[in-house]
């Protein structure tokens, strides 16, 4: 159990660490060499040159390059906190994107939820709990019952079937109403922000393009021609062109290997130029450079690159000329957002297993390996991964507890007697028993997100952003189910698990990792998921309260608590109906308005050339768009 | 409990009644006067003149008009059964529509499911049950335990924890596999039939028209102009025209009253012409014709009609000229099915509570009263009706059991002692106790569909077909929940309820009533619901079997039975994903193909005039399309 001293100690440690980290960050940020790290965006905009401005001119240039010697500037090191807090939301979105801004809103939502509730709790609930005497009675009647001064402030100190429980029921209503009201306002604001963010964006290729999967085979014509004929016939007014997807996995590997060799060559050339090596480095040509003829490294790598380049050209030619390397998927582009919106949001064919259309992800967000999957494959993979997730959820902690039991010394000594002299040493004993078993669990939990990520990739999503959203959702379900399981199957392992999962840092870490990657901007597409998670948390709170009331022999209060989860679920569906389409649909009026504004403001925009090379596999693009001119006539066959 | 004698008696009674009814039907069908009733469709097609052909020429004409005297023709009275069975599905669809054909398929699906399973049951399961001895053991150990010879053939006769239970588990797998396989084939066939039926239909107004609800107010322009501008801007290529919806409820009542009076006038005139009345009938002009001045009925009604016609013209002029009678809903028509398909299946506006578009129902299927409802009203009505349904489901049988208790004699005698001499008479006693209480329950169950229908109307559906589908679904849920409740809360009332709800006639009756009304053709739109009901029935079977296994102390068999419901649910979602869109979406390829074929085969089709008066409130239509020419200039404002 947690005592008051534990809370104070934890508060002191965390407070000190925070102050030290913030101070260190402020000082490092102030050093000339770190300007590029901390002010890259500002620098790109030319708005701020960084702390190098503060340097006194008398300083030697060498030192000035590495150290900020201006004492005056250190008096302002903490100003960034003030600046951050002063920054308007519009500026924030402008600098960090909408994803980052909504993430900060999420944190401030947490503060808005918890600060008033904490105040309310201390003023109303804590005095009510503290002035009751359940714990005193229990410790008087049960011999092995102990409690801490902090426990007296909690719900446990209320007498069985006391009228004071009503205060907690009323508080649950206030709490729920307050959270739902804030969530509603927040959802409305995020939707408005998303709309204005999307409206302010310049033309993007994915606004004009849809992804068509599961293209059926036609014995009479190639896939490229089939796609073209299909969309030319069914979307005659707005269809522009289509780009089929090639199986470029082999090429991809070759291109990556070449670029690795090119990096190595550059590194060696740099070393030679700076005279860092006495003689030109040499290499053995055999397996892993361990044997065989010894040759000049630079020459060897250059030869390899030349050979690989020839192979790449041959492979690219093969891909572009071999009909078998064309996959049953294509990116189809339209001359307007309206045309793309229509095609992405309607059913194309009476058979729902072919010609599946959806919005194309942004080009850098495409997960190429999943594009060629067909309907039945997609379904079976989803089913397989769903089953695996279920199995994993149920059995995840059994092997771990086995490992823990093995790390248990008594078990080790019994089964491996020769280890006894080693594990009996005092230092090793405490290390194994106190530390290692906890670390094994922690490590398993750290592996989990990666396992879920691999599983989600296999499911067949077409973009990194969706893979990450889906993996996060799985992780959330996993944690909720296991915390519940943990409460049912009481045991050390679950106690430990609880402390890890209740650690907010950890949860936020996973959010950040999965949702806040800067490699694409989702325009807060993760918000509906966050909303759902908060609703689930609220429902868990309601169920827990009902359970606690049951423990206090106040089961008759259940009818009074039942409206809470019901209203919460109704609220969820209301918000879903009201707002979620802002994240899943693109209204035709929006599309038309944007098209019209663009036609007026940018009458010369050539949509065709704007889209021409957007959706080509990265390995083919580097060849087509770069200076490998031979490729271009080959690519022409993809346009019509 | 049911004995073998009960089964045989039931079989004899039902068999006799069936034979009598079929014979009577065959004879009546053969009479000249009934040709119009039984052969109306054939007569319209001129394919068959009816049994009047069989008449010998010597018969007096008067008799020949009423009675078929040709003895030879009676030898063929049963041929219609053969003809029916010989009829091809295509002919059936041609004559009865797809709804009727799919309904017959449903019955034949039932036979396909149950005949092989019954055979299997008799060959494999019945011998296994009959050769065990659980019932004999139980009747030997328990004094008040009796059983019938028929009971020995059932599951109850298997010993506790016997290996024979495995046969029932294996049978459950065979049964489920057989049903799912038939369902899959059936779903595929129905989808194919639906597609070919829709493709063979001639142009229908609802293929070109969408219904737009929740039109937002615009202070600057009228609703009609607002709708026109919105769709002209957002669907510039295919938008044709729009017709706003008027609040014509008052007019509707007046038109109905006039047509009632006109019917009465025609009836009186007929009677006078045929000299059936001695003098011209007279009527008192006061309240309910009970007092006041006495006048000539015909003159009085004709005056009333003339007065009403003037009022109708005035009301119609008011409706069409008063902006306040325009409701926030409109029928929007396009020049092609493609244009309508796009608009019906996309989101128009970023705010999901306005500009809601969906396919227009066929004109005669429109439920006009619900068209003007706004988003929040719709949501609150749905919520209110959902809550009411829940309350009704839980509490429906409590008031009935109260009524039943009151019909119980002991209760009556105790609380109304003056009734004792009456209720103690033997005949009345058995009537009250044996019959009346059952009839009260039956009456309550008969009222239920009507209550559900009124509730569903209030929910805000825009067409009769959807109201009926939704009411049927509610009825189904109601029955399932209550049969379950009935099994949990054992009691007489629920025993009785079970016999009613297990009566297939009754269930089929409700299906027919709700789904098979000839006033519109839904192209088997009810099939996915039927599919869902069969799946639910299958799941109930699985749960029941698990319960039975529990009673036989074979709970360890649950893991072997668990895959059954899981596979059934997965199968349901597979079929839903694979086929259901055929009932909810209209693929753009279909729309385009149909448009193209029609443009080629019927190049002169004037879509505008075809759609012009389709979606006008019936009461306004009779005025506009009829000879009330003054109305037409007023209607012109609805076109643009």
pLDDT tens, residue by residue, B278-327: 677 778 777 777 777 888 888 888 999 999 999 998 998 898 888 888 99
Q: Rounded to a whole number, what is the distance in Å from the CA of B437 to chain A's nearest CA?
A: 34
Whether residue B592 is predicted with pLDDT greater than 80 in this model: the reply is yes
In A, which residues are within 8 Å of B582 by CB distance? 350, 352
Kindly state the average pLDDT of the residues A377-386.
91
Decide if B243 is inside a domain: yes
Closest CA–CA distance from residue A192 to any residue of chain B (Å): 10
Residue B608 has a pLDDT of 86
Is residue B39 one of the residues assigned to a domain?
Answer: yes
Query: Looking at the structure, do residues A236 and A316 belong to the same domain, yes or no?
Result: yes
pLDDT tens by residue, B509-556: 337 333 344 567 778 888 999 999 999 889 988 988 888 888 887 777
Q: What's the total number of domains in chain B? A: 2
Mutation test of the interface with chain B: which of A582, A585, A587, choosing the one with the most B Cβ atoms within 10 A? A587
Judge if A228 and A320 occupy the same domain.
Answer: yes
Instruction: For residues B117-127, give the mean pLDDT.
Output: 91
Last residue of a domain, one of B51, B86, B121: B86
Cβ distance of A234 and B588 shorter than 8 Å: yes
* Segments forming the whole domain that contains residue A440: 374-519
Q: Do A379 and B577 touch (CB under 8 A)?
A: yes
Which of chain A's residues have a Cβ under 8 Å away from the Cβ of B581? 347, 352
* B334, part of any domain: yes
Residues A334 and A462 occupy one common structural domain: no
CA distance A108 to A549: 31
Does residue A397 share a domain with residue A282?
no
Structural domain includes residue A357: no
Q: What is the pLDDT of residue B494?
A: 44
Residues A383 and A498 in one domain: yes
Q: Name the β-bridge partners of B356.
A: B213
- Looking at residue B436, what DSSP letter applies? I
For chain B, say whether A577 makes contact (Cβ under 8 Å).
Answer: yes
In Å, what is the CA distance from A308 to each residue of A252, A256, A294, A319, A626?
A: 12, 11, 21, 16, 17
Mark whether A405 and A322 lie in a shared domain: no
Give how far A475 is from chain B: nearest CA, Å: 23
How many angstroms separate the Cα of B336 from the Cα of each of A189, A322, A340, B238?
39, 40, 19, 7
Cβ within 8 Å, pair B348-A592: no
Whether residue B141 lies inside any domain: the answer is no
Average pLDDT of the segment spanning A391-411? 66
pLDDT at A27: 81
Query: Would the CB atoms of B350 and A237 count as touching at under 8 Å?
Result: no
Statement to judge: residues A323 and A394 lie in one domain: no
Q: Which residue has the higher pLDDT, B433 or A139?
A: A139
Same domain, A230 and A312: yes
Rounded CA Rg of chain A: 31
Q: Where does a domain end: A465, A497, A519?
A: A519
pTM listed for this prediction = 0.76
Q: Which of A397, A358, A434 is nearest to A206 (CA)?
A: A358
In a domain, B237, yes or no: yes
Instruction: Give the per-residue pLDDT at B633.
Output: 35
Query: In Å, how far is A589's CA from the nearest CA of chain B?
Result: 6
Pairwise CB contact (< 8 Å): B589 & A348:
yes
Interface mutation target, options B587, B591, B594, B597, chain A, most CBs of A under 10 Å? B587
Residue of B nearest to A567 (CA): B383
CA distance B545 to B539: 10
Choose among B348, B352, B383: nearest Cβ to A589.
B348
Count Cβ atoms below 10 Å from residue A511 Cβ, excluding itself. 19
Strand pairing partners for A333?
A209, A241
Please tell me the predicted confidence (pLDDT) of residue A187: 95
Do A432 and A501 fall into the same domain? yes
Q: How many CA atoms lie within 13 A of B394 on its CB side?
A: 5
> So what's the pLDDT on residue A136?
84
Mutate to test the interface with B, among A192, A197, A352 (most CBs of B within 10 A): A352
Q: Where are the alpha helices (DSSP H) in A121-234?
A: 126-130, 134-141, 165-200, 223-234
A335 and A424 co-located in one domain: no
**Among chain B residues, CA nearest to A595:** B234
| pLDDT, mean of residues A311-319 | 89
Which one of B235, B347, B379 has the shortest CB-CB distance to A585? B347
Is residue B11 one of the residues assigned to a domain? yes
Tokens of B54: 């069989």
Look at residue B133 and give its three-state secondary structure: coil
Angstrom distances, CA of residue B552 to CA of A453, B132, B141, B146, B544: 45, 13, 17, 19, 12
Where is the domain boundary, A40, A62, A86?
Answer: A86
Nearest CB to A347 within list B230, B570, B585: B585
Q: Does A353 touch chain B if contact means CB atoms closer than 8 Å?
A: yes
Answer yes or no: is pLDDT of B153 > 90.
Answer: no
Whether residue B350 and residue A587 make contact (CB cut-off 8 A), yes or no, is: yes
Q: Report chain A residues whose CB lies below 8 A from the CB of B229.
A: none
Does residue A570 belong to the interface with chain B, where contact is any CB pair within 8 Å? yes
**A397 and A339 within one domain:** no
Of A379, A582, A589, the CB nearest to B234: A589
Residue A472 · residue A514 · CB < 8 Å: yes
Cα A362 from chain centre: 17
Tell me which of B62 and B346 has the higher pLDDT. Answer: B346
Asked if the Cβ–Cβ distance from B234 to A592 is below 8 Å, we say: yes
- Please write down the long-range contacts of B270-278, taking CB distance under 8 Å and 24 or more positions apart: B272/B298
Cβ–Cβ below 8 Å for B347 and A592: no
Set of chain B residues whose Cβ sits within 8 Å of the Cβ of A597:
none
Q: In this structure, is residue A146 part of a structural domain?
A: no
Nearest to A368 by CA among A620, A583, A629, A611: A620
Q: What is the largest CA-CA distance in chain A?
A: 91
- The mean per-residue pLDDT over the stretch B348-366 comes to 89
Kindly report the nearest CA distance between residue A391 and chain B, in angstroms.
14
Which residue among A342, A353, A577 places its CB closest to the CB of B342? A342
> Shortest Cα distance from A595 to chain B (angstroms)?
11
Residues of chain B contacting A341 with CB distance shorter than 8 Å = 346
Which residues lie below 8 Å from residue B465, measured CB to CB, with a gap of 6+?
B361, B365, B520, B522, B525
- Do B82 and B210 belong together in one domain? no
CA angle A255, A257, A258 (to 5 degrees): 65
| Residue B365, pLDDT score | 86
Task: Quote the pLDDT of residue A541.
Answer: 87
Answer yes or no: is pLDDT of A629 > 70: no
Q: Does residue A218 sit at the B interface (CB-CB below 8 Å)?
A: no
Q: Is the predicted pLDDT of residue B20 greater than 80, yes or no? A: yes
Nearest by CB to B352, which of A233, A345, A578? A578
Helix (DSSP H) and strand (DSSP E) numbers for chain A: 31, 6
Q: ipTM more than 0.95?
A: no
Q: Which site among B230, B232, B352, B594 would you substitute to test the A interface, given the most A Cβ atoms closer than 10 Å to its Cβ?
A: B352
């Amino acid at each position: 159990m947690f005592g008051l001293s534990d809370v104070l100690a934890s508060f002191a440690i965390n407070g000190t660490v925070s102050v030290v980290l913030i101070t260190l960050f402020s000082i490092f940020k102030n050093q000339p060499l770190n300007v590029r790290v901390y002010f890259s965006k500002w620098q790109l905009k030319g708005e701020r040159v960084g702390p190098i401005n503060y340097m006194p001119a008398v300083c030697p240039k060498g030192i000035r390059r590495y150290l900020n010697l201006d004492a005056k500037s250190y008096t302002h090191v903490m100003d960034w906190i003030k600046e951050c807090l002063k920054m308007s939301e519009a500026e924030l979105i402008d600098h960090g994107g909408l994803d980052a801004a909504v993430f900060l809103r999420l944190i401030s939502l947490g503060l808005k939820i918890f600060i008033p509730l904490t105040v309310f709790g201390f003023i109303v609930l804590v005095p009510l709990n503290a002035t009751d005497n359940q714990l005193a009675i229990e410790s008087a009647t049960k011999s092995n019952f102990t409690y801490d001064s902090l426990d007296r402030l909690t719900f446990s100190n209320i007498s069985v079937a006391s009228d004071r429980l009503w205060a907690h029921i009323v508080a649950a209503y206030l709490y729920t109403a307050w959270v739902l009201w804030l969530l509603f306002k927040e959802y409305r604001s995020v939707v408005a922000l998303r709309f204005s963010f999307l409206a302010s964006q310049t033309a993007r290729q994915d606004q004009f393009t849809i992804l068509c999967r599961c293209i059926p085979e036609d014995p009479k014509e190639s896939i490229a021609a089939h796609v073209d004929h299909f969309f030319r016939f069914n979307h005659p007014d707005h269809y522009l062109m289509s780009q089929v997807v090639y199986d470029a996995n082999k090429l991809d590997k070759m291109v990556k290997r070449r670029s690795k060799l090119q990096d190595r060559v550059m590194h060696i050339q740099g070393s030679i130029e700076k005279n860092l090596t006495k003689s030109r480095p040499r290499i053995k040509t055999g397996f892993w450079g361990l044997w065989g003829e010894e040759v000049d490294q630079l020459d060897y790598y250059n030869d390899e690159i030349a050979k690989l380049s020839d192979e790449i050209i041959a492979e690219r030619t093969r891909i572009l000329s071999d009909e078998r390397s064309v996959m049953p998927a294509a990116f189809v582009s339209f001359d307007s957002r309206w045309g793309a919106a229509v095609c992405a949001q309607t059913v194309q064919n009476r058979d729902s297993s072919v010609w599946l259309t959806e919005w194309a992800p942004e080009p850098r967000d495409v997960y190429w390996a999943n594009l060629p999957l067909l309907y039945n494959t997609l379904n079976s993979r989803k089913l397989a991964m769903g089953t695996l997730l279920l199995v994993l959820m149920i059995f995840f902690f059994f092997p771990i507890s086995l490992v823990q039991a093995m790390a248990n010394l008594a078990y080790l000594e019994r089964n491996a007697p020769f280890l006894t002299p080693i594990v009996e040493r005092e230092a090793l004993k405490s290390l194994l028993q106190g530390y290692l078993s906890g670390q094994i669990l922690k490590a398993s939990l750290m592996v989990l997100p990666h396992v879920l990520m691999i599983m989600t990739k296999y499911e067949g999503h077409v973009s990194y952003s969706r893979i990450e959203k889906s993996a996060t959702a799985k992780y959330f379900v996993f944690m909720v189910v296991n915390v519940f399981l943990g409460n049912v199957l009481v045991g050390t392992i679950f106690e430990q698990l609880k402390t890890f999962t209740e650690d907010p840092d950890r949860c936020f870490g996973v959010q950040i990792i999965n949702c806040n990657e800067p490699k694409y901007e989702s325009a807060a597409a993760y918000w509906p998921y966050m909303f759902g998670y908060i609703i689930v948390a609220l429902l868990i709170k309601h169920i827990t309260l009902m359970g606690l009331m049951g423990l206090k022999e106040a089961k008759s209060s259940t009818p009074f608590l039942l409206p809470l989860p019901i209203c919460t679920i109704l609220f969820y569906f209301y918000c879903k109906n009201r707002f979620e389409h802002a994240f899943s649909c693109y209204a035709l009026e929006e599309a038309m308005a944007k098209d019209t504004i663009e036609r007026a403001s940018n009458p010369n925009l050539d949509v065709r050339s704007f889209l021409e090379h957007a959706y080509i596999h990265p390995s083919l693009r580097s060849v087509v768009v770069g200076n490998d001119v031979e490729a271009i006539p080959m690519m022409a066959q993809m346009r019509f």
